[in-house]
Amino acid sequence: MKTRSFLILGLLATATLTSRVPAKAQQKPQDLAQKSADTWLALTDSGKFAESWDEASQLFKSAITKQQWASTLKGVRDPLGKVLSRKFKSATYTKTLPGVPDGEYVVVQFETSFEHKATATETVTPVLDKDGKWRVSGYFIR
């Protein structure tokens, strides 16, 4: 009887755990990628440019060294000043983008106001990395 109780408890625990898996699996790529973009932008907003490179995708890291990235981003972001506001605009899932290998990408756009640039569009492009995590593969300010 004791063995049967453990078996039933084990089956209930397994059923409970497996019933939670689909909820996470059902999250849209756009939502997961946007969270990744938000986290990554927080690093750039706080001037942690080298750390933003550390958190970027393998594709990103193969295109630019950490030192080049930090220098380039400093040259672009510093003149703009602090972020005053950032509003989510769109997130578009795609498997192809110009100039990069096919994969799973989400192009996330924000309307951003900087201290020295009232209106800008930030485009952050996370990619689903080989380890299954969404990481930034591109960043542009227009």
CB 78 within 8 A of CB 44: no
103 to each of 59, 69, 122, how far by Cα in Å? 11, 23, 21
Host H or E run for residue 15: helix 2-25
- The pLDDT-based confidence of 18 (bands split at 50, 70, 90) is very low
- The domain limits of the chain are 28-141
CB 108 within 8 A of CB 34: yes
DSSP track, 109-139: EEEEEETTEEEEEEEEEEEE-TTS-EEEEEE
Residue-level pLDDT at 127: 98
Residue-level pLDDT at 25: 54
The 10s digit of each residue's pLDDT in 44-81 is: 999 999 999 999 999 999 999 999 999 999 999 999 99
Q: Roughly how many angstroms between the first and final C-alpha of the chain, as a whole number?
A: 69
Q: Is the pLDDT of residue 22 over 90?
A: no
The 10s digit of each residue's pLDDT in 83-141 is: 999 999 999 999 999 999 999 999 999 999 999 999 999 999 999 999 999 999 999 99
Which DSSP symbol is given to 142?
A: -
The 10s digit of each residue's pLDDT in 25-39 is: 578 999 999 999 999
Nearest-angstrom CA–CA distance, 139 and 105:
13
CA 129 vs. chain centroid, Å, equals: 10
CATH of region 28-141: 3.10.450.100
Residue-level pLDDT at 8: 36
- pTM for this entry: 0.80
Name residue 87's amino acid.
Answer: K
